[in-house]
Amino acid sequence: MPSYTVTVATGSQWFAGTDDYIYLSLVGSAGCSEKHLLDKPFYNDFERGAVDSYEVIVDEELGDIHLIKIEKRKYWLHDDWYLKYITLKTPYGDYMEFPCYRWISGEGELVLRDGRARLSRDDQICVLKQHRRKELETRQKQYRWTEWNPGFPLSIDAKCHKDLPRDIQFDSEKGVDFVLNYSKATSHGVGVHTKHEGELRWKGLFYSQLSEETLHPSAAALALQVASAFPEACSNLHF
């Protein structure tokens, strides 16, 4: 029976790994495979920064592989996963790459096509045309504008940063790094003489950000993070 080697790379940022169940299906020109659970015995799969390989044996010839379908199912708690890419070595020795570089949240599914650049007019295969259309429709739902008046866009349609798609939210690692840098700057002095002076300069940064008519969601998220971590320093700020 044909055997494929599937290699899965998980992101290296904080919280990128998952303990959820990950299933994979192959969609080829001659048929689709059953879904396979990617799991190695006595091994913690899909941890942060890991590159894990699995052998996927299918029942029949699949022909040229067009798409890879990934399904993520809950194991214990909600556990987002950042998938960097999947590579595939076919039974005929061909090597294919399927870039992702996206978060899969909750019990999500994702369909990936190989990483070769291709214009829409060059998609001759029906499943690839359908895939491109679905991706476009999904993005149109995720990235949309509120209207100031009919026909006049105002800002991105989100009340807070958590309403934004996971992939464009302010990165949690950068948020923590920002807070730690703030702590160092105010505790040890970076171009300032006292902690109080550092805090005053920090407040000035936020006041200048908040004076903008429309605050960028990332800046608002950041400000809230710092305010919650250092309530005394930000006691005069209102969000």
Binding-site residues for Ca(2+), in ranges, read: 17, 39, 79-80
CA angle in degrees (0–180, nearest 5) for 10-12-14: 110
Q: Rounded to whole angstroms, how far apart are CA atoms 22 and 12?
A: 18
Which of 101, 8, 99, 100 shows the shortest CA–CA distance to 51?
8
Q: Rounded to whole angstroms, how far apart are CA atoms 90 and 120?
A: 26
- Of 3, 12, 29, 44, the one binding Ca ion (CB under 5 A) is 44
Footprint on residues 45-74 left by Ca ion (CB under 5 A): 46
Looking up tokens 């491109």 gives 132
Using rule CB under 5 A, residue 79 touches Ca ion? no
Least Å from the CB of residue 11 to Ca ion: 13
Least Å from the CB of residue 33 to Ca ion: 23
Residues in binding contact with Ca ion, number by CB under 5 A: 3
| CB of 29 or CB of 44, closer to Ca ion | 44
What letter does residue 186 receive in the DSSP assignment?
I
Structure tokens at 179: 């807070």
Q: Find the part of the chain contacting Ca ion (CB under 5 A) among 40-48, 107-115, 132-140, 179-187.
A: 40-48
Q: Find the part of the chain contacting Ca ion (CB under 5 A) among 18-26, 100-108, 147-155, 197-205.
A: 18-26
With both helix axes pointing from N to C terminus, report the angle between 217-229 and 172-184 in degrees, rounded to the nearest 10: 50
Q: Which amino acid is at 25?
A: S
| CB of 39 or CB of 197, closer to Ca ion | 39
Q: Rounded to whole angstroms, how far apart are CA atoms 85 and 11?
A: 9
| CB of 19 or CB of 171, closer to Ca ion | 19
Q: Rounded to whole angstroms, how far apart are CA atoms 85 and 87?
A: 7
Least Å from the CB of residue 53 to Ca ion: 15
- Of 5, 19, 89, 203, the one binding Ca ion (CB under 5 A) is 19
Q: Find the part of the chain contacting Ca ion (CB under 5 A) among 42-50, 126-134, 161-169, 206-214.
A: 42-50
- Cβ-count burial of 8 within 10 angstroms (0-12 exposed, 13-18 middle, 19+ buried)? buried
- Cβ-count burial of 194 within 10 angstroms (0-12 exposed, 13-18 middle, 19+ buried)? exposed
Q: Find the part of the chain contacting Ca ion (CB under 5 A) among 16-24, 74-82, 163-171, 209-217.
A: 16-24
Least Å from the CB of residue 17 to Ca ion: 5
Least Å from the CB of residue 78 to Ca ion: 14
Interface ranges with Ca ion (CB under 5 A): 19, 44, 46
